[in-house]
Structure 1
């Protein structure tokens, strides 16, 4: 079978590999004696297992401890991880990755193509019930769908290892952005021998075996975790940060207080405080565009009967003044959202949807009209429901403002309910909610990472919205040379049916100690690795 080579650009020697793979310290910089990076996380991690983890902060930790085929550089482009390069067959259905021969696990065993085969088969195995099994299906890997459905054994997955340093992936259909998807945690290798020996406890610090730049050395539930440099990592000589500490601090204001006290090097900025903090700390307060959306999702399957009416869903969406949330509440450079896909997404042209062109007064008037037509509001039944969000001061503020708008404009009664992250994920995933907070950060930089969430088979379609036309358009987009009209049509359908309410597109609002250098501020996915950072003396 003919293949065309797709080498990662400019990676032809060990020197060049090091320059893009690890911390690049200028000659003029004076490194701090203590190379410890400490940062705040809001919730306990869902898991340290790459095939099980979900959530942004969990993925950040797993990226430090495990390394997949490719990593991302400071601009968000692919650079070698365990794989040095890949080739693609002429029909775009077979990807062959060449793995480096110096990658090792933390116990000294070599990282092989078989470790990827095992991990990918594990990810689609119904027995594991990975919350990201659907991601492997999205990758169009041959037989993934049938395996996830329980119709074929996981050994039938289209991935094989002809030898220790060659990984072959067979697709069920061409996927132009397939190589962008292999820097995601679910695709990282897994150590079968450690999992066989320890079962679900294999990720405990005393049991875990990892192949990334760091190893987990301490984990105190809901309090702290520590990871230290992995001396077996292939590029350990070019890693600078010695130790990474996460502190669980649920309250954003407390996180800021501890940042001011010098106890953490990074924390999120509380809602509304970015302008003040930017004046006070011009070199440490950041508001960076980020490939994430914030939305409310309707449970259209088992939620209130009213939510089955698109007019009700539209009314609730129209009545939210998004600019109040972004400009008065958050004040951190967020963008009011009228489409599900952020405008910062690569090669995505934001389509014009009708309600985005209205003034807020026009949207409010239309919201009352729609709700009345549906039999609620003035002269009709009072609409009431519960809104679920995960515990956070910012999420609470957004929820309060939105529910006040609904009450004042439409007479809607909403009961707020919050849960800690892991419980929230389970509750939402089991459809035990009326309306719930949703947010999604792109797994790769292409519009499908957002729009696929609202297809019928998506594992993260927690509201269980289903539209055959959306499914068909998204399937067509996977092999289309021009996805713009397809994605535009999907967004217009979503605006008409409103299965979710887009609220805003994210900006990363963080306080980052000026001593920490190497942060990828130009990567809209905000994919960062501790191995790329370093700490200067102050």
Structure 2
């Protein structure tokens, strides 16, 4: 590791100290102050610590401002990391990503698998003390499906499993009472599905299925500031200095408050990986790792494996890293050109020389670690949908350019969000395209929220992407690119693909269902190369030895809610 001078290190430590002290509270506009009917989030009352008590505080980095802390609108890993600690769904998940009770203490499933009856625990409360009721869930789910809202949810398709969910959002029906979710009492929620869905309980642990407090009805900006953000999870947001840091304290009304040991959690927003590592080494941070993928400078990982053996951990993630093609824009609307770009890069070189955290070359989109038919999907379905071949890539490029009426591949821009690793991978891929295909590529670094907006608007040519699963099933990767999906940010539309994914969602025979999904993946990657797979992800993380029960689960979700300091 390259060491800075003592002067630079001292300056950094002073700046960090200033950051953490100056941003202790957020300034809230007058319009966002709580109304009489909306109780504010008061600070948790705790006994003063004794002189010998261990300070139960945890500090980590989320890299950037979360685009949205509204569960109905959130779509990114930064936002979901915060939401998983501040909200709770009907179900939750354990260390092994297995479903456990959340707000629902029990549930019954009809013999045909299409009707779920959830019984909510009566001691579940919002952070302002209001009871969490079945009506809060019904309101939240119907809100996600409401086509008249100014901003629609990118994840509305995740509620299409519910009877008439899709029909309501697409305005085929207009009566929200026809949607298959109903609070039959304050603590009973009945849900009717279109078809049996084996992973529906996993879905109810996902952010889009979280409840929303009734105060949101009168304040569209309720999730934008700390003192109007009412949540129901283990923690609540106590202060929010935008683009700087977010602080959390325990929700004193949480139904399992006795399990929450940390008294304060601070999430800072720093994108420079060298600064992040320096903060960890000077004890200004307790953890580096997901959700800021690439949070440790990759070139430092081999050194840290020697110098911090007890603090560093490298583990695979059930996640994929890839590039998006704007399938609607020339010349990327030509699949031969897309294939040429995919076949001409050396993934092994990228994982061995650049990422250095155990990533594996990817030739499909569904990663190892995703299960189906009681085993990993990748153990059952060959994921080698194409082979790297520079000569074939050159041939396909020439054919694709001719079909597109072009003599030469025009220079294009590859966009990525701010992160040293994304930049390094982008530089390597651009060099390979130049060397192997004589293509000139410009790299453009864009701030996270703007980056997501540009992708959603198809305002790009080629863009970096990655996907962590929402639940443990291959469809969480494959339904992204069905026609009309709120997360289909490549403009891809293929009826056969849509039909296969739709059929898989209805199929109750697990083997037939697996084969349908495998056929869909083949169309997406082998036949169309609608995206460009690069690697199956892994992570390197640093955690102080005295911090316990902080972990990344098998589905790449970061959990700190039940951590503690030893």
Q: TM-score, normalised by structure 2?
A: 0.84
Task: State the 1:415 CA deviation.
Answer: 1.5
Aligned residue in 2 for 1:460: 487
- SS of residue matched to 2:137: helix
- CA RMSD, Structure 1 to Structure 2 (Å): 1.9
Contact 2:154 2:485 in 1 (8 A): no
1:87 is aligned to 2:87: no
Q: 2:205 aligns with which of 176, 179, 183?
A: 183
Distance 1:427 1:517, change over 3 A: same
Aligned residue in 1 for 2:450: 423
CA offsets per residue over residues 420-477 of structure 1, 9 Å max, x none? 0110111110011111111111000100000111211211111111111111111111
Q: 1:322 aligns with which of 347, 361, 364?
A: 347
Aligned residue in 2 for 1:27: none
CA offsets per residue over residues 321-374 of structure 1, 9 Å max, x none? 111111110000111100110022112433336654x4x4xx111111111222
Task: State the 1:111 CA deviation.
Answer: 0.8
Gaps of 5+ in 2: 1-51, 289-294
Task: State the 1:187 CA deviation.
Answer: 0.7
CA offsets per residue over residues 94-135 of structure 1, 9 Å max, x none? 111111111111121111111100111111112053333434
Q: 2:97 aligns with which of 76, 80, 83?
A: 76
How many angstroms apart in 1 are the aligned matches of 2:231 and 2:384?
Answer: 50
Q: 1:258 aligns with which of 275, 279, 284?
A: 279
Task: State the 1:491 CA deviation.
Answer: 2.1
Task: State the 1:278 CA deviation.
Answer: 1.6
Aligned residue in 2 for 1:214: 235
- SS of residue matched to 1:422: helix
Contact 1:75 1:520 in 2 (8 A): no
How many angstroms apart in 1 are the aligned matches of 2:152 and 2:489?
Answer: 15
Aligned residue in 1 for 2:129: 108
How many angstroms apart in 2 are the aligned matches of 1:170 and 1:500?
Answer: 35
Task: State the 1:291 CA deviation.
Answer: 1.9
Aligned residue in 2 for 1:157: 179
CA offsets per residue over residues 476-514 of structure 1, 9 Å max, x none? 111221222222212222222100001111112221112
Distance 1:74 1:284, change over 3 A: same
Aligned residue in 2 for 1:54: 75
How many angstroms apart in 2 are the aligned matches of 1:199 and 1:354?
Answer: 46
Aligned residue in 1 for 2:31: none
Distance 1:382 1:479, change over 3 A: closer
CA offsets per residue over residues 386-427 of structure 1, 9 Å max, x none? 111111111111111001000000011112112101101111
Aligned residue in 2 for 1:4: none
Aligned residue in 2 for 1:310: 335
How many angstroms apart in 2 are the aligned matches of 1:419 and 1:211?
Answer: 33
1:198 is aligned to 2:219: yes
Q: Write the mapping of 1:89-488 to structure 2, written as runs, cut at 5 A.
A: 89-126=110-147, 127-138=149-160, 140-151=161-172, 152-192=174-214, 194-267=215-288, 268-301=295-328, 303=329, 305-347=330-372, 348-350=376-378, 351-352=381-382, 356=386, 358=387, 360=388, 363-375=389-401, 380-480=407-507, 481=509, 482=511, 483-488=513-518
- SS of residue matched to 1:161: strand
Aligned residue in 2 for 1:491: 521
How many angstroms apart in 1 are the aligned matches of 2:103 and 2:300?
Answer: 41
How many angstroms apart in 1 are the aligned matches of 2:259 and 2:199?
Answer: 30
Distance 1:107 1:282, change over 3 A: same
Distance 1:353 1:54, change over 3 A: closer
Contact 2:68 2:223 in 1 (8 A): no
How many angstroms apart in 1 are the aligned matches of 2:401 and 2:85?
Answer: 53
How many angstroms apart in 2 are the aligned matches of 1:469 and 1:202?
Answer: 39
Distance 1:477 1:355, change over 3 A: closer
Contact 2:364 2:385 in 1 (8 A): no
How many angstroms apart in 2 are the aligned matches of 1:327 and 1:497?
Answer: 28
How many angstroms apart in 2 are the aligned matches of 1:51 and 1:352?
Answer: 35
Q: Write the mapping of 1:11-22 to structure 2, written as runs, cut at 5 A.
A: none
1:504 is aligned to 2:535: yes
Contact 1:67 1:81 in 2 (8 A): yes
Contact 1:225 1:245 in 2 (8 A): yes
How many angstroms apart in 2 are the aligned matches of 1:82 and 1:435?
Answer: 41
Gaps of 5+ in 1: 1-30
CA offsets per residue over residues 276-300 of structure 1, 9 Å max, x none? 2121111211222112111111111
Contact 1:69 1:183 in 2 (8 A): yes
Where does structure 1 differ by over 6 angstroms across 4 or more consecutive aligned residues?
none
- SS of residue matched to 1:34: coil
How many angstroms apart in 2 are the aligned matches of 1:128 and 1:156?
Answer: 22
Aligned residue in 2 for 1:23: none
Task: State the 1:241 CA deviation.
Answer: 0.9
Task: State the 1:93 CA deviation.
Answer: 1.1
Q: TM-score, normalised by structure 1?
A: 0.89
Count of residues in correspondence between the two structures: 496
Task: State the 1:203 CA deviation.
Answer: 4.3
Contact 1:124 1:154 in 2 (8 A): no
